[in-house]
Amino acid sequence: MQSLSPTKIDAKKAERILVVEWNDGHASAFPFGLLRAGCPCVECRGGHDKMRSDPEPSVFNQELPESSATNLADLSLVGSYGLNIQWNDGHHHGIYQWDYLRKLCPCEQCRFEKQK
Protein backbone atom coordinates (compact mmCIF):
# COMPACT_ATOMS: atom_id res chain seq x y z
CA MET A 1 0.00 0.00 0.00
CA GLN A 2 1.06 3.50 -0.79
CA SER A 3 2.17 5.38 2.26
CA LEU A 4 -0.18 7.98 3.61
CA SER A 5 0.38 11.51 2.37
CA PRO A 6 -1.73 14.54 1.60
CA THR A 7 -2.74 15.46 -1.90
CA LYS A 8 -3.91 18.91 -0.87
CA ILE A 9 -3.40 21.16 2.14
CA ASP A 10 -5.46 24.26 2.48
CA ALA A 11 -5.41 26.59 5.46
CA LYS A 12 -8.69 28.45 5.70
CA LYS A 13 -7.77 31.25 8.03
CA ALA A 14 -11.19 32.87 8.02
CA GLU A 15 -12.81 29.64 9.20
CA ARG A 16 -9.80 28.68 11.32
CA ILE A 17 -9.55 25.21 9.89
CA LEU A 18 -6.87 23.34 8.03
CA VAL A 19 -8.30 21.15 5.30
CA VAL A 20 -6.20 18.18 4.27
CA GLU A 21 -7.08 15.80 1.49
CA TRP A 22 -5.30 12.47 1.66
CA ASN A 23 -4.12 10.10 -1.02
CA ASP A 24 -6.52 7.43 0.25
CA GLY A 25 -9.49 9.67 -0.49
CA HIS A 26 -10.12 10.79 3.08
CA ALA A 27 -10.47 14.46 3.89
CA SER A 28 -9.75 16.00 7.28
CA ALA A 29 -10.74 19.38 8.65
CA PHE A 30 -8.58 20.35 11.60
CA PRO A 31 -9.64 23.27 13.75
CA PHE A 32 -6.58 25.40 14.46
CA GLY A 33 -7.11 24.97 18.19
CA LEU A 34 -6.89 21.21 17.85
CA LEU A 35 -3.69 21.44 15.84
CA ARG A 36 -2.14 23.65 18.47
CA ALA A 37 -3.36 21.46 21.32
CA GLY A 38 -1.86 18.49 19.51
CA CYS A 39 1.43 20.20 18.67
CA PRO A 40 3.92 17.34 18.47
CA CYS A 41 7.03 19.28 19.49
CA VAL A 42 9.16 18.26 22.47
CA GLU A 43 8.18 21.33 24.43
CA CYS A 44 4.44 20.76 24.07
CA ARG A 45 4.59 17.04 24.62
CA GLY A 46 6.76 17.30 27.69
CA GLY A 47 9.81 15.28 26.78
CA HIS A 48 11.58 13.28 24.12
CA ASP A 49 10.26 10.00 25.47
CA LYS A 50 6.76 11.02 24.42
CA MET A 51 7.69 11.99 20.89
CA ARG A 52 6.75 8.72 19.26
CA SER A 53 3.39 8.26 20.79
CA ASP A 54 0.06 9.08 19.24
CA PRO A 55 -1.76 12.30 19.99
CA GLU A 56 -2.88 12.56 23.60
CA PRO A 57 -6.59 11.69 23.70
CA SER A 58 -7.15 14.80 25.78
CA VAL A 59 -6.34 17.10 22.87
CA PHE A 60 -9.71 16.28 21.36
CA ASN A 61 -11.49 17.67 24.39
CA GLN A 62 -9.43 20.81 24.70
CA GLU A 63 -11.13 23.93 23.49
CA LEU A 64 -8.35 26.39 22.96
CA PRO A 65 -9.66 29.94 22.68
CA GLU A 66 -8.80 32.07 19.71
CA SER A 67 -5.51 33.77 20.47
CA SER A 68 -2.13 34.29 18.90
CA ALA A 69 -1.34 30.74 20.00
CA THR A 70 -4.12 29.32 17.86
CA ASN A 71 -3.77 31.66 14.90
CA LEU A 72 -1.92 29.96 12.15
CA ALA A 73 0.78 32.17 10.70
CA ASP A 74 2.33 29.94 8.11
CA LEU A 75 2.77 26.39 6.90
CA SER A 76 5.68 24.66 5.29
CA LEU A 77 6.34 21.14 4.14
CA VAL A 78 9.14 19.26 5.85
CA GLY A 79 10.67 17.10 3.17
CA SER A 80 8.03 14.63 2.07
CA TYR A 81 7.11 13.40 5.51
CA GLY A 82 5.42 16.16 7.38
CA LEU A 83 4.12 19.63 7.88
CA ASN A 84 5.56 22.40 9.98
CA ILE A 85 3.07 24.91 11.35
CA GLN A 86 4.08 28.34 12.53
CA TRP A 87 1.79 30.10 14.95
CA ASN A 88 1.27 33.79 15.51
CA ASP A 89 2.75 33.63 19.01
CA GLY A 90 6.05 32.57 17.45
CA HIS A 91 5.75 28.87 18.24
CA HIS A 92 7.05 26.90 15.29
CA HIS A 93 8.67 23.72 16.56
CA GLY A 94 5.95 21.26 15.71
CA ILE A 95 6.46 18.91 12.81
CA TYR A 96 3.26 17.03 12.13
CA GLN A 97 4.28 13.84 10.41
CA TRP A 98 1.56 12.50 8.13
CA ASP A 99 0.69 9.52 10.31
CA TYR A 100 0.43 11.73 13.35
CA LEU A 101 -1.60 14.35 11.54
CA ARG A 102 -4.00 11.73 10.32
CA LYS A 103 -4.45 10.46 13.88
CA LEU A 104 -5.45 13.98 14.86
CA CYS A 105 -8.31 13.91 12.37
CA PRO A 106 -11.38 14.89 14.38
CA CYS A 107 -13.99 13.41 12.05
CA GLU A 108 -16.42 10.87 13.42
CA GLN A 109 -15.07 8.09 11.28
CA CYS A 110 -11.51 8.51 12.55
CA ARG A 111 -12.54 9.06 16.15
CA PHE A 112 -14.65 5.94 16.01
CA GLU A 113 -11.90 3.83 14.50
CA LYS A 114 -9.51 4.98 17.16
CA GLN A 115 -11.77 3.80 19.95
CA LYS A 116 -11.90 0.24 18.68
Binding site for Zn ion (CB under 5 A): 39, 41, 44, 94, 105, 107, 110
How many residues comprise the chain?
116
Taking Cα atoms as reference points, which of 77, 80, 82, 68 lies closest to residue 32? 68
16 or 93: CB nearest Zn ion: 93
16 or 103: CB nearest Zn ion: 103
11 or 28: CB nearest Zn ion: 28
The minimum distance between CB 59 and Zn ion, in angstroms, equals: 12
Taking Cα atoms as reference points, which of 11, 14, 8 lies closest to residue 27? 8
The minimum distance between CB 43 and Zn ion, in angstroms, equals: 5
The minimum distance between CB 111 and Zn ion, in angstroms, equals: 8
Beta strands in 13-116 (DSSP E): 17-22, 27-31, 72-78, 82-87, 95-97
